[in-house]
Amino acid sequence: MASTATTTTRKLGKAIDLKYQPGFSQIAWFCIAVLYAPIAVLVFFSFNENRSVTVWTQFSLDWYVKAWNNEGIQHAALISLEVALVAMIASTIMATMAALVTTRTASYRGLNSAIAVINQPLMVPEIVTAVATLIFFAIIKQVTGVSGIGYLIAAHTAFCIPFAYMPIRARLEDMNLSLEQAAADLYAPPFKVFRRVTLPLMMPGILAGAMLAFIVSLDDVIITLFVAGPGETTLPLYILGQIRRGVTPEINAVSTVFVGISVILVTFIFLFGKNKK
Amino acid sequence: MTDQPTTHIQLSSSVVAEAKRLRNTRYALLAPGILTIFCIGIMPLSIVLVYSFLEPGDFGGISWVLSFDAYVQLLFEEDIFDETLSFTTDYIQIFLRSVSLALFTTIACLLVGFPTAYFIATQPPARRNAWLFLITIPFWTNLLIRTYAMLLILRDQGVINLSLIEIGLIDSPIPMLYTDFAVCLGLVYAYLPFMVLPIFASLEKLDFRLVEASYDLYATRFKVLKRIIVPLAKPGIAAGCILVMIPSLGAFITPALLGGGKSLMLGNLIELQFGQARNWPFGSAIALVLMVLVMLSLISYLRFGAKKGTPAHG
Amino acid sequence: MSQQPATAAIDIRETSKIYGKDRASGVVALDDVSLVIEDNEFFTLLGPSGCGKTTLLRLIAGFEQPTHGEILLFGEHLEGLPPYKRPVNTVFQHYALFPHMTVAENISFGLEMLDKPATEISSVVKEVLGLVQMNHLADRKTDQLSGGQQQRVALARALAPKPKVLLLDEPLSALDFKLRKEMQVELKRLQNETGITFIFVTHDQEEALTMSDRVAVMRDGLILQVGNPSEIYDRPARRFVADFIGDINILKGSIVSRDGSLATVQLDAGHQGEAGLPMNAESLGQEVSVAIRPEQLSFVADAAKANLSGTIEHISYFGSGFDYAILMPSGEKVMLQIQNRGGENLAYQLGDQVHIAISDNSMQILAD
């Protein structure tokens, strides 16, 4: 990795560098390699002309075109987007409201319980939540006779809330209360303080929270598997079904797109997160 | 204000009114989020509890007949002909597999994740952000897709096998899939970022002047690691472990894709009951067993992770 | 008691602020405090950290509500009113400028909230920018300004809505020495020009003496003494006040006779002379503490003119002068300050026997 010149200096430097621990950098590089190797293979071969995942013939976007034109994929993509967008908006709004009253405040009765409830979806394995939600919705469907994609959206909203909550809360904690006090001191009633001072300054956190909620909803498999009704197949469910039947190259293409979306969103989150520093 | 030799404080009415308004606003803002999670996340869990004590319905679902069959079924098998119960280890095996795989995964993630997190935390800021970015991307990439990618690599016509055959090391593919090994590998691959990021968060706050002080007092690198760095990173380590342990215990996708029908974990077993096997009460019972396991893990996390004395942070 | 309570800018009546369930188990930040601040005054709340000065300021501003007591602004009750309903503005210790707004937008904020017409807003903003000499920076974002510039913007923002009272919470503490001295003069000038009552909080006693019309010295939630700077300095009523402000000598003595606000006191160290009495002189016993400022003492060659004598125990040189610590036969020590005048000081060395004269009217009997 390094030229011989820098290696010697590095060896000397290592003797003095108090942060150095032997072998750790190798493990770190190994870790990254392990994490990216499978993804790299997937992405690489999604551009492969033939169906094989091991023999490269030539570069081709065929599979992407095929995937784009596949009706099953189109429908699944639309469903995924619909659910993710609604869940993102609903959960972000609720998370923002909750963050406003659970951060930068003296302790009050119910505060710790409220925070525990908000974080609850993170503490329970998805399969258990999936089962519980399935049972619960089954009862409601029986009692009211109402069905539809609303159930799926509601389930997604619930588990997206803690993900939206985290960055919003982090951003709020960084904001000094004296700014809002100054606004109140200058004759702004509480709602105007929120609209003119708190909200604009919170925006980076809210946007990061929204994006997190969006990704989490888009990626979800287990809960969706249990709760989705007929015709509500999301993209991950479609992919799962295809995988169970056998590997197809269109799936590689769709998967690569997913990876691309994650990269874009993580980039945004990093940019917004850095802003506050 | 009248002269009040009271020990208890009485506030003026306008002050009390203001406080009340604040409280009402507070609960109003909390309500939607709390209610949503409560109704969809928490309350249904109690329904699962109830269901585990019922009998399966004829066409799926349940019938409202009280029964302990579901729990009995965990340990005993009923002979369909003479209705005698005989002890079976089928489900115990799955239970043990889940626990041991989850433990193995956590330990493996710790062994790889800690050095990685340490390395990243000790990089200069520009490089550190680059590394963080690289670790964060798999963290937010769809688990299904990452497991699928692992599938592509491990299967008989996968990258590893075909490359080894190419090189000539082996003649025919080594079956790696559909084994406990594959599932464990898949789990480690899936949850490695969950271990790295919390440990990194802890180490980032580490005051390296403490390390400097211990070197000054003749400690070796290993001793510094063992006696200073690791103890101070305990909160992050504990958090990382619980963030890996809980999803691993309840894993479904990874064993489904990489374990086939041969390496079932509790998650798969549960899914089976709500799918083909149509035994909702049994599925509920297993889900509750899983919850108990999760609770035990959480309790030991709180005991171990929270037991820290006052950490000496800079 | 104030003769015309209706015209006082701020009237604080028996006000307490207690955090917690009750007096015994809670924290008493303000203990039954009463104070009258007049219109067009530069009034300072002075004391060490934790004395309650900031709490008092926040009670006037409205960020906290009193546990007991009343606060009146030109005769109007303020208790229960939220901050945005009080015609009082605050300059915060760390400025609290809105980072997402420009200088001009910060300054116009209060006027916007009061629904003033746009033309009025722009003319006031211009006027106030001129007052603090920041016209050229109107469109800058606030995080691009230096500390001193941010301070001026904070001032301008608080002055723009033309409040009845301006509250300043240690606004100069984050500035370096030279800038602080400049701003002290600035603030004094601003108060004179605008005629607005300034209530200034600080722990820096020099600052308090330089800028104020009157000072309230506070400690542990109580007001120990209120008066103009020379009263506070030359006639401290309490030991804490004497000690907190400048350097002080405190000697033991006993009262020989009284006459109105004066008394004849016999110092244990030997001298007998006239001393001022504090306000509640009735509760004083015969044994008292007497305060004398170091600059009121001087060396004399002639023993006949001396009031005290002793041996020089310690000399400190601080550039512009010397501090001498002198041990007297009574066992007490006094401190003396002399300006650096070249050769003159060489006459006094460690171990020398010296004679000291006390200036007239400089002894003050302390209440505690």
Smallest CA–CA separation between B8 and chain A, in Å?
Answer: 20
Residues of B in contact with A222 (CB under 8 A): 252-253, 267
Give the containing element (helix H, strand E) for C339. Answer: strand C333-339
User: Residue B3: its pLDDT value, please?
Assistant: 44
How many Å apart are CA A258 and CA A252, to the nearest integer?
A: 10
- DSSP β-ladder status, C214-219 and C42-46: parallel
Q: How many CB pairs under 8 A join A and B?
A: 252
How many Å apart are CA B217 and CA C300, to the nearest integer?
A: 60
Tell me the mean pLDDT in the region B106-126. 91
Per DSSP, the three-state class of C355 is strand
How many Å apart are CA B260 and CA C213, to the nearest integer?
A: 86
Phi, psi of C88 (to 5 degrees): -130, 135
Residues of C in contact with B7 (CB under 8 A): 22-24
Q: What structural domains does chain B harbor?
A: 90-306 (1.10.3720.10)
| Mean pLDDT computed over every residue of chain C | 90
Residue A67: inside a domain, yes or no? no
Nearest CB partner across the interface for A240, out of B26, B39, B144 = B144
Residue A159: inside a domain, yes or no? yes
User: Residue B122: its pLDDT value, please?
Assistant: 86
Q: Do B144 and A263 touch (CB under 8 A)?
A: no
In percent, how much of chain B has pLDDT > 70?
Answer: 92
B139-192 pLDDT per residue, tens: 888 899 999 989 888 887 777 887 788 788 777 777 888 888 899 999 999 999
- DSSP for chain A reads ---HHHHHHHHHHHHH-TT--TTHHHHHHHHHHHHHHHHHHHHHHHTBSSS-SS----B--HHHHHHHH-HHHHHHHHHHHHHHHHHHHHHHHHHHHHHHHHSSS---TTHHHHHHHHHHHHHS-HHHHHHHHHHHHHHHHHHH---SHHHHHHHHHHHHHHHHHHHHHHHHHHS-HHHHHHHHHTT--HHHHIIIIIHHHHHHHHHHHHHHHHHHHHH--HHHHHH--TT---HHHHHHHHHHH---HHHHHHHHHHHHHHHHHHHHHHHHHHHT-
Contact C110, C121 (CB under 8 A): no
Nearest CB partner across the interface for A41, out of B149, B211, B274 = B149
Residue C344 has pLDDT above 70, yes or no: no
Q: Are residues A181 and A87 in the same domain?
A: yes
Task: Tell me the β-bridge partners of C76.
Answer: C73
Smallest CA–CA separation between C97 and chain A, in Å?
Answer: 7
Burial profile B131-147: b = 16 or more Cβ within 10 angstroms, e = fewer: bbebbbbbebbbbbbbb
Residue A28: inside a domain, yes or no? yes
Q: Are residues A200 and A252 in the same domain?
A: yes
How many Å apart are CA B133 and CA C178, to the nearest integer?
A: 45
User: Residue A268: its pLDDT value, please?
Assistant: 82
Tell me the mean pLDDT in the region C73-93. 92
Residues 6+ apart with CB under 8 A from C206: none
User: Residue A99: its pLDDT value, please?
Assistant: 93
Residues of C in contact with A200 (CB under 8 A): 100
In percent, how much of chain A has pLDDT > 70?
Answer: 90
If you measure CA to CA, which chain C residue comes closest to A192? C113
- Pick from C346, C333, C252: nearest CA to C294: C333
User: Residue B165: its pLDDT value, please?
Assistant: 80
**How large is the greatest C-alpha to C-alpha distance in chain A, in angstroms?**
76
Smallest CA–CA separation between C185 and chain A, in Å?
Answer: 25
| Best mean pLDDT range from A255-259, A269-273, C31-35, C280-284 | C31-35
Residue C314 has pLDDT above 90, yes or no: yes
Distances (CA, A) of C67 to B200, C14, C28, C29, C109: 46, 10, 10, 10, 31
Contact B203, B236 (CB under 8 A): yes
DSSP, res C102: B
Per the structure, the count of domains in chain A is: 2
Q: Do A259 and B145 touch (CB under 8 A)?
A: yes
Q: Are residues A185 and A119 in the same domain?
A: yes
pTM reported for the whole predicted model = 0.82
User: Residue C227: its pLDDT value, please?
Assistant: 94
Contact B109, B188 (CB under 8 A): yes
Return the CA Rg of chain B: 26
Q: Do A182 and C98 touch (CB under 8 A)?
A: yes
If you measure CA to CA, which chain B residue comes closest to C20? B9
Q: Are residues A102 and A126 in the same domain?
A: yes
Give the containing element (helix H, strand E) for C255. Answer: strand C249-259
DSSP, res B8: B
pLDDT grade for C184, boundaries at 50, 70 and 90: very high
Here the CATH number for the domain that contains residue A85 is 1.10.3720.10
Residue A3: inside a domain, yes or no? no
The conformational region for residue C7 under phi > 0 = left, psi -120 to 50 = alpha, else beta, is alpha
If you measure CA to CA, which chain B residue comes closest to A157? B36
Q: What angle do CA B303, B306, B310 make, to 5 degrees?
A: 135
Q: Are residues A47 and A77 in the same domain?
A: no
Q: Are residues A139 and A243 in the same domain?
A: yes
If you measure CA to CA, which chain C residue comes closest to B7? C22
Q: Are residues A92 and A48 in the same domain?
A: no
| Best mean pLDDT range from A116-120, B9-13, C54-58, C173-177 | C54-58
In the numeric block, the tokens 């998805």 are attached to A126
Residue A219: inside a domain, yes or no? yes
Smallest CA–CA separation between A268 and chain C, in Å?
Answer: 20
pLDDT grade for B5, boundaries at 50, 70 and 90: very low
Q: Are residues A43 and A80 in the same domain?
A: no
Residue A178 near chain C (CB below 8 Å): yes
Tell me the mean pLDDT in the region C203-223. 94
Q: Do C84 and A196 touch (CB under 8 A)?
A: no
- Pick from B181, B189, B152, B146: nearest CA to B259: B181
Q: What angle do CA B144, B150, B155 make, to 5 degrees?
A: 120
Residue C213 near chain B (CB below 8 Å): no
Distances (CA, A) of C236 to B202, C5, C223, C276: 54, 26, 13, 10
Per the structure, the complete domain to which residue A110 belongs is given by 73-275
Nearest CB partner across the interface for C84, out of A184, A196, A200 = A184
User: Residue C101: its pLDDT value, please?
Assistant: 92
Q: Are residues A95 and A56 in the same domain?
A: no
Contact C49, C203 (CB under 8 A): yes
Contact A217, A88 (CB under 8 A): yes
Q: Are residues A53 and A87 in the same domain?
A: no
Q: Do C82 and B12 touch (CB under 8 A)?
A: no
| Best mean pLDDT range from B10-24, B152-166, C224-238 | C224-238
DSSP, res C238: S
Q: Are residues A95 and A37 in the same domain?
A: no
Residues of C in contact with B15 (CB under 8 A): 65-66, 79-80
Residue count of chain C = 368
| Mean pLDDT computed over every residue of chain B | 83
- Pick from C52, C49, C137: nearest CA to C97: C137
Residue A9 has pLDDT above 50, yes or no: no
Residue A182 near chain C (CB below 8 Å): yes
Tokens of C233: 């300095």
How many Å apart are CA C172 and CA C184, to the nearest integer?
A: 8
Residue A127: inside a domain, yes or no? yes
C240-291 pLDDT per residue, tens: 999 999 889 999 999 998 888 889 999 988 888 999 888 777 777 888 999 9
Q: Are residues A122 and A180 in the same domain?
A: yes
Residue A6 has pLDDT above 60, yes or no: no
Nearest CB partner across the interface for C68, out of B1, B14, B17 = B1
User: Residue C303: its pLDDT value, please?
Assistant: 84
If you measure CA to CA, which chain B residue comes closest to C77? B14
B19-61 pLDDT per residue, tens: 788 888 888 999 998 998 888 888 899 889 888 888 888 776 7
Q: Do C80 and B13 touch (CB under 8 A)?
A: yes
Q: What structural domains does chain C harbor?
A: 5-234 (3.40.50.300), 247-365 (2.40.50.100)
Nearest CB partner across the interface for C161, out of A181, A183, A187 = A187
Tell me the mean pLDDT in the region C113-130. 93
Smallest CA–CA separation between B307 and chain C, in Å?
Answer: 29
